[in-house]
Homo-oligomer: A and B are copies of this chain.
Amino acid sequence: MASLHPFDPITPGEIQLAVRILESNFPGVKLRYKRIDLQEPIKQETIPYLEAERLGKPRPKKPTRLLSALFHRLDNGSFFKALLNADTKSAVTIKELPKDVQGPVDIDEMIELEQVCLDHPAVKAEIEKLKLPAGMTVCLDPWIYGTDDASESRRLVQCYMYIVATDHPQNNQYSLPCQFSPVFNAITHELLRMDYLPGGADAQTNSTQPWKPVPTVQYAHELLDEPLRTDLKPYIVQQPEGASFNVIGNAVSWQKWRFRVGFNNREGLVLHNLTYDGRNTFYRLSMSEMTVPYGDPRAPYHRKQAFDVGDVGFGITANQLSLGCDCLGHIKYFDGYRTDAQGTPIRLQNVICMHEQDNGLQHKHTNYRSGAATVVRNRQLVIQMICTVANYEYIFAFILDQAANIELEVRATGILSTVPFDNQNGQTVPWGTNVGPGVMAPNHQHLFSLRIDPALDGFKNTVYYEDSVAMPEDDNNPYHVGYVTEKTVLKESGSAFTSVDRHRVFKIRNDNIINSITHHPIAYKLQAMPSQMLLASPKSFGTKRAQFATRPIWVTKYQDDELYAAGEFTNQSKKSDGVEVWADRKDKVEDEDIVLWHSKLPPTSPVTRERKVANNTAAFGLTHNPRIEDFPVMPVERISVMLKPDGFFTKNPALDVPQSSQSFNQSIQHPEPAACCEPQDRNQVKL
C-alpha cells in the first residue's frame, strides 16, 4: 500500500485487509458486510503532506491510512461500525450501534428484498387478483421507509409494485403502478403490513381488482410506436493530438489546475486538493447530501423522502459508463470499489468519466476603430458521474475552466416516481400531474447540499456576504443613481439566507493575503442559486430529518468526520444530526479552518436571523412539479452553482489562452444551396 496517496480511493486489497482484521476480531462469528470504504484522512496530518507535494519539498510521513466498515453479526443481527488502521493492519475502534440506527441500503440487500417480496404468499395472492394477461408480470422498487413513528426501531422497507411486460428489458414499469404496497422487516423478512394505495383524488383505497389493461408509456427506442428521427447528422469531437490533461493514478493536471479525483461509496465523486497555478484553492468539494421529499399528502406517500446519499450512496449507484454514450471526444475513466455482503471486493468500472468540452466563447473584444479582435474560446474539463437511484438519474459534473472557475452542474433525468390514479374521467389533483392513463406523478423537491471545504492561499479562510444597496439620497448621491456594496462577515458558525433583491453574493476570503491592486483580501465568490427551500411543515418528520434543507447557506468550523449535511445515518432517521448541530456550536469562524455548505432557501428572510450566521456550508434545490413532458423519461433539468475567483488574481487569468483560429478549430461554412432555391438571397445581394 506504500504507493497509495492519502486521497486515493479504497483498493480491493484494502477491502480484503479490512475483512481479515474484522474476522480476527470476531472469531467463529459470521459477519455480513454492508460497507467497507476509505475513511477521510485526518486533515491536520494531511495538510503538511499536501503542502510538501505542492511546493516540491521532501514529503513528510503520510497521514494514517484509515478504513471504515459497517457490518452485521449474523448470529444476533447486531450492527457495528469499525474504524481500522490499514498501516498497522489493526482495528482502532469497533463499536456496536444503537438498535434504532439503520445503515444504508446495500446492493445485495436490495436484490434480496425484491425476491423476498415476490416470493411472499400474501404478495403472490395480490398479484393473482390482478389476473394479468400472458406476458405481463409484477416488479417492485423497495423504498426507503421514511419515518412516521419516533418509536420505530425495526429496519423497514416499503415495496412499490408495478406491472411490467416481460418481452423487453426496458419495459417501463413506472407507467403501470399497482395499488397494493407490502411493508417488510428488512432483517427478519417478515411481512408487517399490506398497504393499499389511493386510487383517485382522495385518500380512499380499494382492494386489489383485476387489471384493466392500458397501454404502457414507453421510453425505450425499440418500444416506441413512432419512428425514430432520421435527420440528425453525426457530430464528432476529434482531438487528433489527444486530450489536454495528464493523469497519473488519480492525480490530474489540466491547464493550470491540479487536483485529485476521489471516489467513495457514499458521495461517489469527490475532488481533493485543487490548486490553480500552484496556489491552493479548495481542500475538498463534494455532494454531501440530497433529500427528495414528496408533496402528495396521502398515506403511505408521506413516507416517500429519500436521502440518496445517506440512505443509498451515489458511489454504489454510479453508472458504469461506456464510450460514445455519456461524453464526446477523448475520455478518461476512473474505477471504484465496493464490498459485497461476503466481503468480496467488487470493481465498479468506469464510474467516473473525465473529458474536455468547448463551451463557446471565453472572452472577446473587437476594437471598433481598428476592427482588430481578440477571441478566446472556453475550453472546460468535465469530471462526471451518473447515478441511477431506482427510477431517477442524477448527472453530477464538476466543470473546471481556464479562468479558474469551478462549476458544479447537476442534471436530473430518468423516470418520475409515479402513483396509480384513475384519471380517465378528467380528474386532476393539485399536488401532481397526470402523465399517462391511470398514472400520476406527484410534486416533489430535490434539495442538495454542496460541501465546500476552502483553502484559498491557505487553510484559514473567512466567509462573508456582500449586498448591493442604493446609496442614501444625500449630498454624496445628488443624482440618486449611486449604489454600493455592503459586507457582512460571518464571525460565528451558523446559517445565512440568500437575497435576490439585495443581489447578495457569498464570498470566501483569506484575510492574511491582500490583493496588490484591489487592496482587498484575495477571495472566491459562490455564485449560488437562490431557490425554494423545504416546503414540508417544521412539525413534519420530513423537516426534522433534513434541517440542512431549511437554510441555503451554512458555515461551520472544520472538524474531521463532519462530512454529511443530514448526519451519518439518514435511513429511517427521526431527526437529522448534521450541519445544523455543528453550526450550533457557535464556533469562531473568522480566519479559521471552515466549511461552507450550500442549500436553497427563500430569499425573503428576516435580517435578525441573518445575524445568527456562524458556520460554513450550503444547500440548493429544485422544486419539481412534473411536466407531462418529463414522462416517460425526463429531459435533463439542469441546475448549476459556481465558485469564481473574485480578487484572487490581479487580472483575467485566461488572458494567456491562445486566440481561437480556423487553423486550430477547422470549422466549415455551410454550403449555399443552388441559387434557384433561394430567391430571397439573390434579392439581398442585388445592389
Contact = CB atoms under 8 A, between A and B. Distances in A.
B503 A500 contact: no
Interface in A291-317: 293-297, 299, 302, 305, 317
Task: Give the oligomeric copy count.
Answer: 2
Contact of A531 (B233, B430, B500, B669): B500
A627 interface: yes
Contacts of A332: 669-670
Given A329-B668, A532-B502, A645-B629, A255 B232 contact: yes
A258 to B, nearest CB: 13
Interface in A518-547: 518-520, 525, 530-533, 535-537, 539-542
B221 A666 contact: no
A364 B386 contact: yes
B295 A603 contact: no
A104 to B, nearest CB: 16
Contacts of A680: 3-5, 8, 248-250
A374 interface: yes
Contacts of A631: 651-652
A683 interface: yes
A372 B471 contact: no
Given A170-B374, A532-B501, A540-B480, A658 B221 contact: yes
Interface residues of A, number: 211
B635 A654 contact: yes
A267 interface: no
Interface in A212-242: 217, 219-221, 224, 226-229, 231-242
B405 A330 contact: no
Interface in A464-489: 466, 468-471, 473, 476-486
Given A221-B374, A363-B636, A481-B293, A239 B229 contact: no
Contacts of A602: 500-502
Interface string A504-522: 0100000000010111100
A133 interface: no
B670 A247 contact: yes
A92 interface: no
A390 interface: yes
A370 interface: yes
B11 A683 contact: yes
A476 B235 contact: no
Given A11-B683, A374-B170, A535 B330 contact: no
A362 B4 contact: no
Interface string A16-60: 000000000000000000000000000000000000000000000
Contacts of A200: none
A168 to B, nearest CB: 8
Contacts of A331: 667-670
A374 B430 CA distance: 31
B324 A665 contact: yes
Contacts of A234: 238-241, 664-666
A376 to B, nearest CB: 8
A683 B393 contact: no
B683 A4 contact: yes
A12 B686 contact: yes
Contact of A361 (B326, B367, B632): B326
Nearest to A427: B519
Nearest to A653: B629
Interface string A346-363: 010000001011101111
A61 interface: no
Interface stretch (A407-415, A558-566, A608-616): A407-415
A102 interface: no
A431 interface: yes
Contact of A479 (B148, B363, B501, B644): B148
Interface string A588-623: 000000000000011110000000000000000001
Contacts of A345: 687
Nearest to A482: B297
Contacts of A679: 3, 249
Contacts of A248: 673, 677-678, 680
A64 interface: no
A655 interface: yes
Contact of A413 (B12, B237, B364, B625): B364
Contacts of A395: 360-361, 364
A170 B239 contact: no
B628 A515 contact: yes
Interface in A245-260: 247-250, 255
Interface centre among A294, A325, A525, A631 (most CB of B within 10 A): A325
A530 B236 CA distance: 36
- A437, A503, A625 — most chain B CB neighbours (10 Å): A503
A238 to B, nearest CB: 4
A236 B665 contact: yes
A661 interface: yes
A365 interface: yes
Contacts of A535: 468-470, 483
A271 interface: no
Contacts of A663: 324
A480 to B, nearest CB: 4
A17 to B, nearest CB: 12
A423 B516 CA distance: 10
Contacts of A670: 242-243, 247, 330-333, 354
Contacts of A661: 324-325
Contacts of A629: 403-404, 644-649, 651-653
B323 A633 contact: no
B363 A517 contact: no
A633 B374 contact: yes
B297 A633 contact: no
Contacts of A659: 221
Given A12-B685, A235-B356, A249-B678, 7 more contacts: A234-B664, A248-B678, A249-B679, A302-B481, A302-B482, A431-B471, A470-B537
Q: Report, nearest first, the 4 A-B pairs whose CB atoms are least far apart.
A: A501-B602, A297-B482, A324-B662, A249-B680
7 contacts: A3-B679, A13-B687, A236-B240, A297-B477, A360-B395, A361-B395, A364-B414
